Amino acid sequence: ETGNGNNSLPAPDPQQKLLQVVLVSPQIPGNAGCIARTCAASAVALHLVGPLGFKVDDTKLKRAGLDYWPYVVVRIHGSWAEFQNYFKQQEGDKRLLAFTKRGTAIHSDFSYRKGDYLIFGSETCGLPPDVLLDCKSETFGGGTIRIPMVETYVRCLNLSVSVGIAVYEASRQLNYEQLQVPSTNSGDFEQSLLTEDIFA
């Protein structure tokens, strides 16, 4: 499936998408649902890159996202190559930032910018080598980032926790600008969010 939504609605304002989260081959619907809820709360778009470990109509996925699905833009890409094509077509400054336990920069030391795509791998395998290469490339890559943790007895953080940490640190550095939606245009903004939403 692709998240193209109702094309009769106005296109989302690119300025509203200061940050975007990309999940590459997520396996657990509950995690994806929690992440969608975080994206709704932080006004961040969400991309799901296949192959997925669940169907988008999975009950656990929808339950974890509660009734917030109408307030997050969700796009499905069948593969990383398909996402690459989408990414390259987007206008403005943009970077691919890989979050991995082997990242070279600590998440709170890294300087985030508008247009950053925060990339996360699957719960079981992490990010594939080709995705890491793209994130390190000079053309679109912004580097690899890690969230510090005790590694002697903890293999990794939960995916939804990692996304929450990353999104809110990046948002803090950007002064939560994406949350500053003018109240007079809130209805239009909510309508624009539904344009690409697979659940619209």
pLDDT band at 151, cuts 50/70/90? confident
How far apart, in whole angstroms, are the C-alpha atoms of residue 111 and residue 113? 7
Q: Is residue 164 part of a domain?
A: yes
Q: 88 pLDDT exceeds 90? A: yes
Q: Is residue 43 part of a domain?
A: yes
Closest Cα to residue 199, out of 80, 46, 43, 17?
Answer: 46
**pLDDT (tens digit per residue) in 24-58:** 999 998 898 899 989 989 999 999 999 998 887 76
Q: Is residue 166 part of a domain?
A: yes
Residue 3's pLDDT is what?
A: 36
Say how many domains are in the chain. 1
How far apart, in whole angstroms, are the C-alpha atoms of residue 3 and residue 46? 10
Containing domain of residue 43, as a range?
Answer: 19-176
- DSSP letters, 107-119, are TTTS---TTEEEE
How far apart, in whole angstroms, are the C-alpha atoms of residue 56 and residue 108? 32
Q: What is the pTM of this model?
A: 0.82
Q: Which residues pair with 120 in a beta bridge?
A: 23
How far apart, in whole angstroms, are the C-alpha atoms of residue 58 and residue 62? 7
Q: Is residue 7 part of a domain?
A: no
CATH of the domain at 72: 3.40.1280.10
**pLDDT (tens digit per residue) in 152-194:** 888 889 999 999 999 999 999 999 998 886 543 444 444 443 3
Residue 72's pLDDT is what?
A: 80
**pLDDT (tens digit per residue) in 97-141:** 999 999 999 999 999 999 999 999 999 999 999 999 999 999 999
pLDDT band at 63, cuts 50/70/90? low
Q: Is residue 101 part of a domain?
A: yes
Q: Is residue 12 part of a domain?
A: no
Residue 180's pLDDT is what?
A: 84
pLDDT band at 9, cuts 50/70/90? very low
Q: Is residue 189 part of a domain?
A: no
Q: Is residue 190 part of a domain?
A: no
Q: Which residues of 171-190 are buried (b: 16+ CB within 10 A; e: fewer)?
A: beebeeebeeeeeeeeeebe
